[in-house]
Structure 1
């Protein structure tokens, strides 16, 4: 904008000076000469009679003076100097005015950059005169309002649907228990009951995951307390001790010390679910005789708390690994696989975002996955 202002000023200045010079030097200039009259000053010892005053010449006629190329060149050079100085001044003024004109846009960009799905209730609320910029800000605010309404409707639907589905699942489980509890029953009933219970357990895990995901997206950091990562990680490992022993996994952990237990602040229930899902994912998708490493890096002056969970496994592609933070994304080709619900890492990502953090997933060159959570 500064360059545009300066260019327009220079073009306008050149046109203006060209017209002025053409009008000035198009015709001869009329000049009237008045003869100088010597002035007598007393006190110099001179006779005033020696300095006669000439008679006035009322019929003096103007003289036409034609400009020479030297005169035109001199006028053009002086005009160029003045135009250059004014051009520099216009550049400075253009920079100032462009900054003032673009200041509302910078404010809008900064506020928009800070708005995410976690704080869609915030608005730009641009103040000032009613012009095109305030209309743009109002349009963005109305768009944010529609997005907030859509997000809230989606979250309420997930939470309500999960709650509503619990009742028919409980009725189905009760019916299976009643059928199996009869003293006289065909042998096929036990087989069918086992399959139904397996499906009902998977549905229960899926509903629990959906409810936890909806809670992480809705509640966020409403309940704030301190939580030591070492305690959460060890509790998650103890809860899966049988699965770890079955796969003969080598577990390594560096979770701080008693004096520095790597504390994080947030919702204790959600943070426990975050660590639990990371450990569950690392154990569930590990290979026999593999390894599981958990590292907690304390917060530094300029660094957040970082929890890293690494596990062995097959070699994965980074492009596919990056999608695991989305709901119902699995690396297996069979979407009907019972290895988890496909919500574990998406729950971790939602809880991390709710605590102003993020989940980073990396495919390890030797195989397996490294999950890093920054809080």
Structure 2
């Protein structure tokens, strides 16, 4: 009965089939009982005909036989009624089972449509239900959903193309503005206000350039254009990212506790995965307090490779934390270092993880701080073995 509770329509179909069967069975039972009762009423002892007194004993015997026959008919009617009731109860149970089977068969196409629709997300809008069969209401519903998915795919693709194209186009005027500033400052004995203004504009241009770079990476990850897929060690990428950010870690006097397994292999774009690891670690560094700590772990769990980065700090609201995977979302202006962030870091991580078939989980630690978990599918053993053999061969090549 567990499946019946899952679908309201299926439960209603089952109950409807059972009720219709029971009503029909009860009507048939009542008709059978009425017919048997009317037949019994016709078997009534008649009046003894007048005749010699010698016939009295025979007539009395006949009346006794008729009375016995009437009792037998009544007993048979009761037995028929009891047997019919038992048969009705048995068939009621059978009708529930048959009703459940019929409801499941009737609703099976709808369940398939529901399951296929749930598998389709913003990352795989190109998939279609493509339901085959007669042109009935179910196929019409599936075709309508396919048409909706087609329009959504076109809309998402247009949005991503716009972000990518706009980011590329804005690079040119930014480069021109930067060159103009350099020319103005390079003049002999430039005025002090000009130099100060140029330094301030360079800072803002760097921030805008960083933002555009984030847009480009986000658009590439969301488009799923991963032509450079290869076997990558998430542990080695984490080690490289920590080494490259050693100065930033030292500047904030942060304590780093890392448990990184170098042989944590996944398959994907090395450039995007490097950006994923870098953004997660940058988030832990920028949004941290002076003298704080960072705990980093890279491990192979089941069929996944997981990067887990934890930081301390104040207790955060989980509802607000859940929004950090969206572009331009921050925990608030009072969060440490938020003025240095573009608000795209974790949204880029989420997009890159999704493009690789993985996920990003953000959890507020009960003791305070944030726990970021990026899970990616692990590479197949055959791919890892082939990659290691190629690496050994190249290492032996003079």
TM-score (norm 1): 0.82
Distance 1:352 1:18, change over 3 A: same
Please say which structure displays the higher CA radius of gyration.
Answer: 1
> Is 1:295 aligned to 2:300, yes or no?
no
SS in structure 2 of the partner of residue 289 of structure 1 = coil
- Alignment-derived partner of residue 355 in structure 1: 356
Question: What is the CA–CA distance in structure 2 between the aligned matches of 1:352 and 1:11, rounded to whole Å?
Answer: 57
- Alignment-derived partner of residue 370 in structure 2: 369
- Alignment-derived partner of residue 276 in structure 1: 278
Question: What is the CA–CA distance in structure 2 between the aligned matches of 1:91 and 1:365, rounded to whole Å?
Answer: 49
RMSD: 2.6
SS in structure 1 of the partner of residue 363 of structure 2 = strand
Q: Within 5 A, what are the aligned runs for 1:255-270?
A: 255-256=260-261, 261-270=263-272
SS in structure 2 of the partner of residue 323 of structure 1 = helix
Deviation for aligned residue 1:337: 5.4
Question: What is the CA–CA distance in structure 2 between the aligned matches of 1:174 and 1:27, rounded to whole Å?
Answer: 113
Unaligned segments of structure 2, at least 5 residues: 1-12, 44-65, 377-398
Structure with more helix by fraction = 2
Question: What is the CA–CA distance in structure 2 between the aligned matches of 1:268 and 1:19, rounded to whole Å?
Answer: 79
In 1, are the aligned partners of 2:287 and 2:338 still within 8 Å (CA)?
no
In 2, are the aligned partners of 1:220 and 1:267 still within 8 Å (CA)?
no
SS in structure 2 of the partner of residue 298 of structure 1 = strand
SS in structure 2 of the partner of residue 362 of structure 1 = strand
Deviation for aligned residue 1:315: 3.3
- Alignment-derived partner of residue 49 in structure 1: none
Question: What is the CA–CA distance in structure 1 between the aligned matches of 2:106 and 2:304, rounded to whole Å?
Answer: 38
Unaligned segments of structure 1, at least 5 residues: 32-62
Distance 1:90 1:368, change over 3 A: closer
SS in structure 2 of the partner of residue 371 of structure 1 = strand
1:5 aligned residue (8, 17, 22): 17
- Alignment-derived partner of residue 58 in structure 1: none
In 2, are the aligned partners of 1:252 and 1:293 still within 8 Å (CA)?
yes
> Is 1:317 aligned to 2:336, yes or no?
no
Deviation for aligned residue 1:243: 1.2
Distance 1:162 1:334, change over 3 A: farther
- Alignment-derived partner of residue 346 in structure 1: 347
Deviation track 1:86-114 (CA, whole Å, cap 9, x = no partner) reads: 43443333232222112112211221222
- Alignment-derived partner of residue 73 in structure 1: 78
Question: What is the CA–CA distance in structure 1 between the aligned matches of 2:195 and 2:85, rounded to whole Å?
Answer: 102
Equivalent residue pairs, number: 338
> Is 1:160 aligned to 2:161, yes or no?
no
Question: What is the CA–CA distance in structure 2 between the aligned matches of 1:304 and 1:349, rounded to whole Å?
Answer: 16
- Alignment-derived partner of residue 232 in structure 1: 237
- Alignment-derived partner of residue 200 in structure 2: 195
- Alignment-derived partner of residue 330 in structure 2: 330
Distance 1:17 1:253, change over 3 A: same
Distance 1:201 1:94, change over 3 A: same
